Every structure is written in structure tokens, then in C-alpha cells.
Amino acid sequence: MPFIIAGPCAAESKEQVNDLAALISSLNIKVFRAGIWKPRTRPNQFEGLGTTALSWLAEVQKTYGLEAIIEVANAKHVEEALEAGIARLWVGARTTVNPFSVQEIADALKGVDIPVLVKNPVNPDLSLWIGALERLNQAGITQLAACHRGFSGFSKIRFRNHPNWEIPLEFRRLHPEIPLFCDPSHIAGKRSLIPEVAQKALDLGYEGLMVEVHPLPEKALSDSAQQLSPNELIHLLEHLVFRNPSVDNLQVQEKLQQLRDEIDEIDRAFLELLAERMKVSRRIGSLKEENLISYYQYQRWNEILENRSFWAEMSGVDPEFIRKLFELIHLESINQQSEGL
């Protein structure tokens, strides 16, 4: 069972907070999220109720036995949250991107080992994400978790933020000891897409989810499109599929190993062919050098893209995946041509 964090994007009223806390407690969810200081992209948008809402969350902790978690962006936020007895904190994406702000939060937390969740920075920079966790750890915070909420991008996609799944998976490879959460609400941007994102995160072995829920999402003061209704939250929890990190069945283990051995052989053959391809690229580079021909030939690159995409489709392989793969191969081929002389 994954660790679930749920609650509104923002605490809007005492009644709203209590109604949602009662619901979330009834679902055996232990951590209640609510934004009270909201960093907004533009002015004159709802920026949260601030200190006023702290007492509501402190009351929720006492009344429903929940642990409240709020976003902090500076030392003052930390001090007020600790004074109010808030159980957990999170560092938002807009703060993670700024090492000065993260260090300020870390300094304010020295001597207080409280659970802190760190969202990825808005830009796809793994080092910044890891660096933020390191700063907090060096301040004495040992109860750390990371939260994948997607990355900003210029291109239009189905989701509000680019998932860039390869970045949190690389984070997991480098730091398997740190629990990894997913915020499907911010990645999806639309409530209809939240189940898809949440399930993929669980399929990839994430330890938990941080989901936004509102009594009346369409009337929410912030991020109305990405908040679930109570019934939608219940439906999500009922239909999520939970996977085990490993299996004890010896027959399954043996079959997996056989298939992995097959993959290893295919990969070895693929790499040998790729090495041969690079040898040919270097020979092409020598010919171009002798005849003062530009290393980059856009007509040839267009031909490769068109042919490989067609071959991929005929072979039942995703053409977009092959395009990305050959972009890397083509770039290395040019490097081999120009530097491997």
C-alpha cells in the first residue's frame, strides 16, 4: 500500500479544511496537505490565507489524528509552522530551484528533525533537486523524501507539466534510500488525467502519492482543474494497482532471469552493431575532410528520420522513440566524423 498524502491545493476556510479532514481520516489516510502560502506566477491571484490557516491545521491534527503538511518558502514560514506544531513540511518546486532559499529553510530547521518532502525544481535539473535534499540533510534533517511534480516546458503536451520520468528514475538509482513520491495533480493539470499519472508512478515503484482534493473543485480558489472531488479520490484509491518491488516465487524468478539473459544477449549484439556503425561514420568523416564537405548534411538527416520512422512502424516499434534514439546516434556520428580523424 503506498503512502498517500491528500488535501486541498489551498486552505480556503475552516469549514472546508474540517470537511476534507473528516473525509481523509475516514479513508485511513494519515497525512493532510493544504497550502497556506501560495507562490503564484502573477500578482492578484489567490496567494493563500497564510498564518490564519495554521490554527485550522493544528486543530485538524488534534481532532482527526492526522499529520498536517504545508509548503514553506522561507525561514519565517518555517518558524511559524513549527510554533503552530505542524507535523510535516514540504519545499515547493519554485523554492527548490533557488539554493539560497533552500539554505535559508535548512538553517531555520537546524536542531529540529521534522519530516520534510522536497519537490523537484520547475526546470529539469537533477543536481538542483539532489542539492536541496543535501542542504537539508546537512542541517540535521534525516526524515527526507522527494516528490516528483513534473517540469515546466515550452512545448504543448497532454499534461500541465512534463513528467520527464527519466529524471526521477535516475534520482531513484542514485538515492534508493530516499522515499520517492509523485504529485499527479501538478503533472496532470486535469483531474481526468490524474489516475493515469498516479498509476504509472506506482508501476515505477514510487513509495507514495500526493493528491489534491476539494469539496467542490470547480469553485476552488486555485488550481481548480487539477483537484479531485471526494468521490473521485475514493474512486482513485479503489482502482489503483499496487505492485511489489520483488517476488518470492522461485519459478517466476527463474523465468525473469531467463528473459533478462535474452535481453543481455540482444543488447550485446546491438552495441557491437552500434560500434560498427561508428567505424563507418569515422570513414565518412575522413572522406568529408579530404573533400572539404560539411559534416552536417540536413538532406541526409531528413532521409534517416523518414526511413527509420517508417522501419520502426513496420516493425511495431514506437516511431517517436526511434526518432529520439536516432537523434542521439546522429549527434554522436557527427562527433565521430569531426573528432575521430
The reported pLDDT for the residue numbered 341 is 46
Per DSSP bridges, beta strands 88-91 and 67-72 are: parallel
CB contact at 8 A, 88 and 58: no
Neighbours of 172 (CB within 10 A): 18
Q: Which amino acid, one-letter code, is at 274?
A: L
Q: How far apart are CA 258 and CA 29, in angstroms?
A: 40
Distance (Å) of CA 126 to CA 196, 213, 225: 24, 28, 28
CB contact at 8 A, 11 and 34: yes
Q: Which amino acid, one-letter code, is at 302?
A: N
The reported pLDDT for the residue numbered 1 is 75
The reported pLDDT for the residue numbered 44 is 78
The reported pLDDT for the residue numbered 40 is 76
Q: How far apart are CA 131 and CA 133, in angstroms?
A: 5
The reported pLDDT for the residue numbered 339 is 77
Residues 6 or more apart from 36 whose CB is under 8 A from it? 10, 11, 48, 49, 50, 51, 52, 53, 54, 57, 70, 71
Nearest to 133 by CA among 164, 161, 183, 172: 172
Instruction: Detail the DSSP E strand segments found in the chain.
Output: 3-7, 31-33, 67-72, 88-91, 116-119, 144-148, 180-182, 208-212
Work out the angle between the directed axes of helices 99-108 and 126-138 (0-180°, nearest 10). Answer: 20
pLDDT in tens, the chain (341 residues): 789 999 999 999 999 999 999 999 999 999 999 999 988 777 878 888 999 999 999 999 999 999 999 999 999 999 999 999 999 999 999 999 999 999 999 999 999 999 999 999 999 999 999 999 999 999 999 999 999 999 998 877 899 999 999 999 999 999 999 999 999 999 999 999 999 999 999 999 999 999 999 999 999 999 999 999 999 999 999 999 998 888 889 999 999 999 999 999 999 999 999 999 999 999 999 999 999 999 999 999 999 999 999 999 999 999 999 999 999 999 999 999 887 44
Q: Which residue has the cell 534514439?
A: 325
The H or E element spanning position 44 is none
Q: Which DSSP string do the residues of 198-215 spell out, in sequence order?
A: HHHHHHTT-SEEEEEB-S
Per DSSP bridges, beta strands 3-7 and 208-212 are: parallel
Q: Which three cell numbers stand for residue 105?
A: 529553510
Structural domains of the chain ordered from first start: 3-239 (3.20.20.70), 250-339 (1.20.59.10)
Backbone torsions φ then ψ of 153, nearest 5 degrees: -155, 160
Nearest to 300 by CA among 321, 325, 326: 326
